[in-house]
Structure 1
Amino acid sequence: MANCHACGYVSASLVKRIGSVHRGYKKMDAFALDARVQGLRDKVLLLGGQAEDSLSRAIGALVRRNSALAEQVIRDDDAIDLVESELDEDCASLLIKAAHLSPSDLRFVIGVLRTTPMIERIADHAVNIARHALRLNDEPELKPYIALPRMAALAQEMLSDALDALTQSDAAKARQTIRRDDEVDLLYRRIFAELTAFMTKDSAAVLRAAELLFVIKHLERIADYATNICEQVVYLAEGRAIKHTPDAWQRD
């Protein structure tokens, strides 16, 4: 039977070709979404790297009494805020396509949306440490920084491991990172006691000791944010909410 397009008849071969084109569109859409999710992953790595770098330089500015480095940390904060805003927009754009995302990709996008503000806040704490460093560097050194660099190193390690766990959706690594928060808290209490003792013995040291009290509080909050990121990783990887169940993070 001859084809009669005027009568609404469409050949089987044409139907096949149309179906092939539509499948091609779907593949192209899938490839485009994969690329956008990978772009999101790369941008999270960029933001995390910026936050890590800010923290490292802020601590360096304090310990090495390098005010130029502290000023650099403060100047670079706007660039971090810009990346955070871009990530928010990228996540919103991908969530519009939620029906076409794989379950794992959708969980990752949600995880980024929840944790990006935490990473940005970590960078803000680094900026605050840099500001304290600027003020302290203009004064005589209060005492050699012994426990404080150890506390700073632990906070940096927790941040690095939390970001790795997030980008790799690694719940086991997230749990290992959460376990380290107690060590940071222990150092915080120890340094706090030392600094308050200085303040009671030497009135001339009060302002400098107070600046350092703020520094260790910022470090303690950075470790808390790293813990919060890891809690989100466990939830997104396993569907387990461990934030309000203190023993749950201990399970491997």
Structure 2
Amino acid sequence: MELKKNPKKDLNRNSGMYFAMGLFLVLILTYVALEWKSFYGYDDVAEGLPQEELWEQAPPITFVTPPPPPPTPVAPPVLDIVDNEVDVEEVVIASTESDEETEVIEVDEVEFDEGPVDVVVPFSVIENVPVFPGCENDADKRACFNKMMKKHIVKNFRYPELEQEMGIQGRVNIMFEIQKDGSIGNVRMRGPNKNLEKDAARIINKLPKMTPGKQRGNPVRVPFSIPITYKLSN
């Protein structure tokens, strides 16, 4: 028995046309999707940015200060024009030189005070240095003075206990004068601590009386300076 198909019910009859229409529709959609463009307004962009970024993007406002006005020109001084016929008083300067008619006044003898003059001569340049007790017979009295000074400091040295406990150490620069009678005076000191300064002054005040220094045969005051170091042993 032969099967008969209804040509109207055949699904493959228009398949080529349907394929072409579908392909055309896909091409149209692809073209539209690729060519589609959108634009944002200024308000939309501003709303999407933080407020700090908007301030950073704004240009800074600068104020230009105008220069000060130029100073007012000073008027030239008014010159007084004097007529040639007016008499002008002239200033006469008297001469201080003497002439033959000048009377010479006799001057009595001038009295000079021959009392002692208070002179200060540094230790480094004085002719006769002060003599430390025990250096009278030494040929180099200057070197002997320095040696005896160091010996005196070592003998009377005493580190203050409070400064030892606190670990305070340093150098005290001390200056004094050997007076015209050989005594010690005008003691001055500078150091890292008041107690160290007082102890250095105590050592200097214990110096014995010396033979005063002399300049041109006359006793004079002689300043002398020496450092005293306070150092803790490790």
Query: What TM-score range do you get, normalising by the shorter chain?
Result: under 0.3
| Relative contact order higher in (CA < 8 Å, ≥ 6 apart) | 1
Higher strand fraction: Structure 1 or Structure 2?
2
Higher helix fraction: Structure 1 or Structure 2?
1
Q: Which has the larger radius of gyration?
A: 2
TM-score (norm 2): 0.22
TM-score (norm 1): 0.21
